Protein backbone atom coordinates (compact mmCIF):
# COMPACT_ATOMS: atom_id res chain seq x y z
CA UNK A 1 0.00 0.00 0.00
CA UNK A 2 1.57 3.30 -1.07
CA UNK A 3 -0.40 5.42 1.34
CA UNK A 4 -3.65 4.88 3.21
CA UNK A 5 -5.60 8.14 2.83
CA UNK A 6 -6.55 9.70 6.16
CA UNK A 7 -10.17 10.71 6.84
CA UNK A 8 -11.06 9.90 3.23
CA UNK A 9 -14.85 10.14 3.52
CA UNK A 10 -14.70 13.30 5.64
CA UNK A 11 -12.36 14.92 3.10
CA UNK A 12 -14.52 14.20 0.06
CA UNK A 13 -17.74 15.20 1.84
CA UNK A 14 -16.19 18.53 2.88
CA UNK A 15 -14.58 19.24 -0.50
CA UNK A 16 -16.68 18.05 -3.40
CA UNK A 17 -19.91 19.74 -4.47
CA UNK A 18 -19.71 20.13 -8.28
CA UNK A 19 -19.47 17.01 -10.46
CA UNK A 20 -18.34 19.11 -13.41
CA UNK A 21 -15.94 21.21 -11.38
CA UNK A 22 -12.17 21.59 -11.26
CA UNK A 23 -10.48 20.32 -8.10
CA UNK A 24 -6.89 20.27 -6.88
CA UNK A 25 -5.13 17.62 -4.79
CA UNK A 26 -1.91 19.26 -3.62
CA UNK A 27 -0.43 16.04 -2.19
CA UNK A 28 -1.07 13.23 -4.66
CA UNK A 29 1.08 10.57 -2.95
CA UNK A 30 -0.49 7.19 -3.65
CA UNK A 31 -3.55 8.78 -5.19
CA UNK A 32 -5.99 7.71 -2.47
CA UNK A 33 -7.76 11.05 -2.09
CA UNK A 34 -7.41 11.76 -5.82
CA UNK A 35 -9.11 8.48 -6.73
CA UNK A 36 -12.11 9.38 -4.60
CA UNK A 37 -12.31 12.86 -6.11
CA UNK A 38 -12.23 11.31 -9.60
CA UNK A 39 -14.97 8.87 -8.55
CA UNK A 40 -17.10 11.85 -7.54
CA UNK A 41 -16.47 13.82 -10.72
CA UNK A 42 -18.46 13.40 -13.90
CA UNK A 43 -17.06 13.25 -17.45
CA UNK A 44 -16.57 17.03 -17.58
CA UNK A 45 -14.85 17.28 -14.22
CA UNK A 46 -11.09 17.85 -13.91
CA UNK A 47 -8.53 17.12 -11.21
CA UNK A 48 -5.16 18.85 -11.04
CA UNK A 49 -2.74 17.11 -8.66
CA UNK A 50 0.72 18.02 -7.38
CA UNK A 51 3.56 16.01 -5.90
CA UNK A 52 7.27 16.84 -5.78
CA UNK A 53 8.24 13.20 -5.22
CA UNK A 54 9.02 11.41 -8.50
CA UNK A 55 7.93 8.10 -6.93
CA UNK A 56 4.41 9.50 -6.61
CA UNK A 57 4.41 10.59 -10.25
CA UNK A 58 5.18 7.00 -11.25
CA UNK A 59 1.98 6.04 -9.41
CA UNK A 60 -0.27 8.19 -11.66
CA UNK A 61 -3.76 6.89 -12.30
CA UNK A 62 -4.78 6.28 -15.94
CA UNK A 63 -7.53 8.87 -16.23
CA UNK A 64 -7.73 11.62 -18.84
CA UNK A 65 -9.46 13.89 -16.32
CA UNK A 66 -6.30 13.91 -14.19
CA UNK A 67 -3.37 16.28 -14.68
CA UNK A 68 -0.47 15.35 -12.37
CA UNK A 69 2.29 17.93 -11.93
CA UNK A 70 5.73 17.00 -10.53
CA UNK A 71 6.25 20.19 -8.52
CA UNK A 72 6.02 21.56 -5.00
CA UNK A 73 2.53 22.82 -4.17
CA UNK A 74 3.92 26.31 -3.54
CA UNK A 75 3.77 26.66 -7.35
CA UNK A 76 -0.02 26.20 -7.29
CA UNK A 77 -1.19 29.45 -8.89
CA UNK A 78 1.58 29.54 -11.47
CA UNK A 79 0.69 26.09 -12.76
CA UNK A 80 -3.06 26.64 -12.70
CA UNK A 81 -2.60 29.77 -14.80
CA UNK A 82 -0.27 27.94 -17.18
CA UNK A 83 -2.85 25.21 -17.81
CA UNK A 84 -5.70 27.69 -18.16
CA UNK A 85 -7.46 27.32 -14.80
CA UNK A 86 -8.09 30.77 -13.30
CA UNK A 87 -10.30 29.47 -10.50
CA UNK A 88 -11.08 26.05 -9.07
CA UNK A 89 -13.96 24.56 -7.09
CA UNK A 90 -11.87 23.10 -4.30
CA UNK A 91 -8.38 22.39 -2.98
CA UNK A 92 -7.26 19.48 -0.81
CA UNK A 93 -3.90 19.08 0.97
CA UNK A 94 -3.01 16.05 3.09
CA UNK A 95 0.18 17.41 4.63
CA UNK A 96 3.11 15.45 6.00
CA UNK A 97 4.94 12.32 4.83
CA UNK A 98 3.26 9.42 3.06
CA UNK A 99 3.37 5.89 4.43
CA UNK A 100 5.36 4.86 1.37
CA UNK A 101 8.05 7.46 2.10
CA UNK A 102 8.23 6.39 5.74
CA UNK A 103 8.52 2.73 4.78
CA UNK A 104 11.36 3.20 2.29
CA UNK A 105 14.50 2.84 4.47
CA UNK A 106 16.76 4.63 2.00
CA UNK A 107 14.70 7.82 2.23
CA UNK A 108 15.76 8.32 5.88
CA UNK A 109 12.38 9.51 7.19
CA UNK A 110 11.92 6.80 9.80
CA UNK A 111 13.66 6.19 13.12
CA UNK A 112 13.16 2.44 12.62
CA UNK A 113 15.76 1.78 9.94
CA UNK A 114 19.53 2.20 9.70
CA UNK A 115 19.86 4.35 6.59
CA UNK A 116 21.39 7.51 5.20
CA UNK A 117 20.06 10.73 6.72
CA UNK A 118 18.33 12.00 3.59
CA UNK A 119 14.69 13.11 4.23
CA UNK A 120 14.26 14.88 0.88
CA UNK A 121 10.71 14.75 -0.49
CA UNK A 122 12.13 15.97 -3.80
CA UNK A 123 14.98 13.56 -4.48
CA UNK A 124 16.61 16.11 -6.82
CA UNK A 125 16.96 18.74 -4.08
CA UNK A 126 20.44 19.51 -2.76
CA UNK A 127 19.96 19.75 1.00
CA UNK A 128 19.85 16.53 3.05
CA UNK A 129 19.34 16.00 6.78
CA UNK A 130 23.00 15.00 7.10
CA UNK A 131 24.02 18.38 5.64
CA UNK A 132 22.08 20.15 8.37
CA UNK A 133 23.56 18.03 11.15
CA UNK A 134 27.13 18.36 9.91
CA UNK A 135 27.21 21.95 8.62
CA UNK A 136 24.69 24.16 10.44
CA UNK A 137 25.98 26.54 13.07
CA UNK A 138 25.17 25.42 16.60
CA UNK A 139 22.74 28.32 17.08
CA UNK A 140 20.94 27.56 13.80
CA UNK A 141 20.71 23.87 14.66
CA UNK A 142 19.22 24.72 18.05
CA UNK A 143 16.68 26.99 16.36
CA UNK A 144 15.56 24.16 14.07
CA UNK A 145 14.96 21.85 17.05
CA UNK A 146 13.18 24.59 18.99
CA UNK A 147 10.98 25.91 16.17
CA UNK A 148 10.04 22.62 14.52
CA UNK A 149 10.14 20.13 17.41
CA UNK A 150 9.16 22.29 20.42
CA UNK A 151 12.19 20.95 22.33
CA UNK A 152 13.09 23.02 25.38
CA UNK A 153 16.57 21.48 25.54
CA UNK A 154 17.27 22.31 21.89
CA UNK A 155 20.50 24.16 22.74
CA UNK A 156 21.92 21.24 24.69
CA UNK A 157 21.06 18.83 21.87
CA UNK A 158 22.64 21.12 19.28
CA UNK A 159 25.82 21.49 21.35
CA UNK A 160 26.08 17.73 21.78
CA UNK A 161 25.78 17.22 18.02
CA UNK A 162 28.35 19.92 17.23
CA UNK A 163 30.81 18.47 19.76
CA UNK A 164 30.39 15.01 18.24
CA UNK A 165 30.82 16.09 14.63
CA UNK A 166 34.23 17.67 15.28
CA UNK A 167 35.64 14.14 15.03
CA UNK A 168 32.87 12.17 13.27
CA UNK A 169 30.56 12.99 10.40
CA UNK A 170 26.92 12.10 11.13
CA UNK A 171 25.72 10.12 8.14
CA UNK A 172 23.17 7.51 9.24
CA UNK A 173 19.98 7.31 11.27
CA UNK A 174 21.58 4.78 13.63
CA UNK A 175 24.45 7.19 14.33
CA UNK A 176 21.99 9.93 15.14
CA UNK A 177 19.80 7.70 17.32
CA UNK A 178 22.83 6.48 19.30
CA UNK A 179 24.25 9.98 19.57
CA UNK A 180 21.00 11.28 21.09
CA UNK A 181 20.53 8.40 23.55
CA UNK A 182 21.37 10.54 26.60
CA UNK A 183 18.50 12.92 25.69
CA UNK A 184 15.89 10.16 25.43
CA UNK A 185 13.99 9.48 28.66
CA UNK A 186 12.97 5.87 29.14
CA UNK A 187 9.62 5.05 27.50
CA UNK A 188 9.75 8.35 25.57
CA UNK A 189 12.66 7.47 23.28
CA UNK A 190 10.61 7.14 20.12
CA UNK A 191 8.52 10.22 20.82
CA UNK A 192 11.57 12.49 21.24
CA UNK A 193 13.38 10.96 18.28
CA UNK A 194 10.27 11.40 16.14
CA UNK A 195 10.20 15.10 17.04
CA UNK A 196 13.87 15.53 16.12
CA UNK A 197 13.37 13.73 12.82
CA UNK A 198 10.29 15.87 12.18
CA UNK A 199 12.27 19.07 12.72
CA UNK A 200 15.04 17.95 10.36
CA UNK A 201 12.51 16.92 7.71
CA UNK A 202 10.71 20.26 7.93
CA UNK A 203 14.00 22.11 7.53
CA UNK A 204 15.24 19.91 4.67
CA UNK A 205 12.05 20.46 2.68
CA UNK A 206 11.39 24.04 3.78
CA UNK A 207 7.89 22.84 4.62
CA UNK A 208 6.70 25.82 6.63
CA UNK A 209 7.68 28.37 4.00
CA UNK A 210 6.08 26.23 1.27
CA UNK A 211 2.89 25.88 3.34
CA UNK A 212 2.67 29.64 3.88
CA UNK A 213 3.21 30.31 0.17
CA UNK A 214 0.53 27.81 -0.79
CA UNK A 215 -2.05 29.04 1.73
CA UNK A 216 -1.51 32.65 0.65
CA UNK A 217 -2.48 31.71 -2.92
CA UNK A 218 -5.76 30.01 -2.01
CA UNK A 219 -7.91 33.18 -1.95
CA UNK A 220 -6.75 33.91 -5.51
CA UNK A 221 -7.41 30.46 -6.98
CA UNK A 222 -10.55 29.19 -5.18
CA UNK A 223 -13.81 30.58 -6.57
CA UNK A 224 -16.52 31.97 -4.30
CA UNK A 225 -18.38 29.09 -2.72
CA UNK A 226 -15.43 26.76 -3.33
CA UNK A 227 -14.02 24.64 -0.51
CA UNK A 228 -10.61 23.99 0.96
CA UNK A 229 -9.69 20.92 3.03
CA UNK A 230 -6.38 20.69 4.88
CA UNK A 231 -5.17 17.74 6.96
CA UNK A 232 -2.36 18.47 9.40
CA UNK A 233 -0.23 16.19 11.58
CA UNK A 234 1.61 18.44 14.03
CA UNK A 235 0.91 21.64 15.93
CA UNK A 236 3.26 23.85 13.89
CA UNK A 237 1.49 23.40 10.57
CA UNK A 238 -1.95 23.13 12.21
CA UNK A 239 -1.46 26.50 13.91
CA UNK A 240 -0.71 28.12 10.53
CA UNK A 241 -3.71 26.51 8.86
CA UNK A 242 -6.04 27.43 11.72
CA UNK A 243 -4.91 31.07 11.76
CA UNK A 244 -5.12 31.39 8.00
CA UNK A 245 -8.69 30.10 7.89
CA UNK A 246 -9.66 32.20 10.90
CA UNK A 247 -7.83 35.44 10.12
CA UNK A 248 -6.83 35.32 6.47
CA UNK A 249 -3.20 35.66 7.53
CA UNK A 250 -0.67 34.04 9.86
CA UNK A 251 -0.98 36.56 12.67
CA UNK A 252 -3.10 36.11 15.79
CA UNK A 253 -5.45 38.87 14.60
CA UNK A 254 -6.92 39.50 11.13
CA UNK A 255 -5.51 42.38 9.09
CA UNK A 256 -7.76 45.45 9.03
CA UNK A 257 -8.03 48.18 6.41
CA UNK A 258 -7.85 51.94 7.08
CA UNK A 259 -11.48 51.88 8.22
CA UNK A 260 -10.95 49.07 10.72
CA UNK A 261 -12.75 46.49 8.61
CA UNK A 262 -11.54 42.96 7.89
CA UNK A 263 -11.95 41.23 4.55
CA UNK A 264 -11.70 37.55 5.39
CA UNK A 265 -11.39 35.24 2.36
CA UNK A 266 -12.68 32.07 4.05
CA UNK A 267 -15.22 30.95 6.62
CA UNK A 268 -14.62 27.69 8.43
CA UNK A 269 -17.20 24.95 7.95
CA UNK A 270 -16.53 23.42 11.38
CA UNK A 271 -13.89 23.66 14.10
CA UNK A 272 -11.96 20.56 13.04
CA UNK A 273 -12.35 16.81 12.71
CA UNK A 274 -10.15 13.95 13.91
CA UNK A 275 -10.05 10.31 12.78
CA UNK A 276 -12.40 7.84 14.37
CA UNK A 277 -11.11 5.35 16.93
CA UNK A 278 -11.64 2.63 14.34
CA UNK A 279 -9.56 4.45 11.71
CA UNK A 280 -6.67 4.97 14.13
CA UNK A 281 -6.76 1.25 14.96
CA UNK A 282 -6.47 0.43 11.27
CA UNK A 283 -3.95 3.17 10.48
CA UNK A 284 -1.83 4.30 13.43
CA UNK A 285 -0.31 7.14 11.41
CA UNK A 286 -3.70 8.86 11.42
CA UNK A 287 -3.61 9.32 15.21
CA UNK A 288 -2.38 12.94 15.19
CA UNK A 289 -4.35 14.12 12.16
CA UNK A 290 -6.70 17.10 12.19
CA UNK A 291 -8.94 18.02 9.28
CA UNK A 292 -9.92 21.65 8.81
CA UNK A 293 -12.22 22.92 6.08
CA UNK A 294 -13.52 26.30 4.93
CA UNK A 295 -15.61 27.91 2.21
CA UNK A 296 -14.49 30.82 0.01
CA UNK A 297 -16.50 33.95 0.78
Entry field: residues in the chain:
297
Give the DSSP letter of residue 94.
Answer: E
Residue limits of CATH 1.10.150.170 in the chain: 126-204
Q: What SS3 state is found at 107?
A: helix
Q: Which fold has domain 126-204?
A: DNA polymerase; domain 1 (1.10.150)
Residue 112: band (very low, low, confident or very high) from pLDDT cuts 50, 70, 90: confident
Residues 39-84 have pLDDT tens digits of: 999 999 999 999 998 888 888 999 999 999 999 999 999 999 999 9
Give the DSSP letter of residue 75.
Answer: G
Residues 159-198 have pLDDT tens digits of: 999 999 999 999 999 999 999 999 999 889 999 999 999 9
Residue 238: band (very low, low, confident or very high) from pLDDT cuts 50, 70, 90: very high
Q: Is the pLDDT of residue 26 over 50?
A: yes
Question: In angstroms, rounded to a whole number, what is the distance separating the alpha carbons of residues 43 and 292?
Answer: 28
Lowest mean pLDDT among 38-42, 94-98, 238-242, 290-294: 94-98
| pTM score of the predicted model | 0.92
- If we measure between CA atoms, which residue out of 218, 239, 240 comes closest to residue 295? 218
**pLDDT number for residue 110:** 77
What would the CATH number be for the domain defined by 8-99+207-296? 3.40.50.150
Q: Within 13 Å and on the Cβ side, how many CA atoms surround 89?
A: 16
Residue limits of CATH 3.40.50.150 in the chain: 8-99+207-296
Q: Do 267 and 274 contact (CB within 8 A), yes or no?
A: no
Q: Is the pLDDT of residue 260 over 90?
A: no
CA dist 73 to 4, 82, 105, Å?
20, 14, 25
**pLDDT number for residue 183:** 95
- If we measure between CA atoms, which residue out of 245, 241, 249, 217 comes closest to residue 85? 217
Q: Is the pLDDT of residue 1 over 50?
A: no
Q: Do 40 and 16 contact (CB within 8 A), yes or no?
A: yes
**Angle between helices 235-247 and 207-221 in degrees, nearest 10:** 20
Burial 220-252 (b: 16+ CB within 10 A, else e): ebbeeebbbbbbbbbebbbebbbbbbbbbbeee
Amino acid sequence: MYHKPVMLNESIESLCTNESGVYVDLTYGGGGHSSSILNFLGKKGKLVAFDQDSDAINNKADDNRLLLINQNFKHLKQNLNYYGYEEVDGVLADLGVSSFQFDQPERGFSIRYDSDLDMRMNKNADLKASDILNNYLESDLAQVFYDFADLRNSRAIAKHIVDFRTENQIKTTKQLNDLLSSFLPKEYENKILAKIYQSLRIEVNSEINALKEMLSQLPEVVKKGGKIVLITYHSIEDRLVKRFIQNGCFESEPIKDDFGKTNLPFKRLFKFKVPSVQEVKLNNRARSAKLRSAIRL
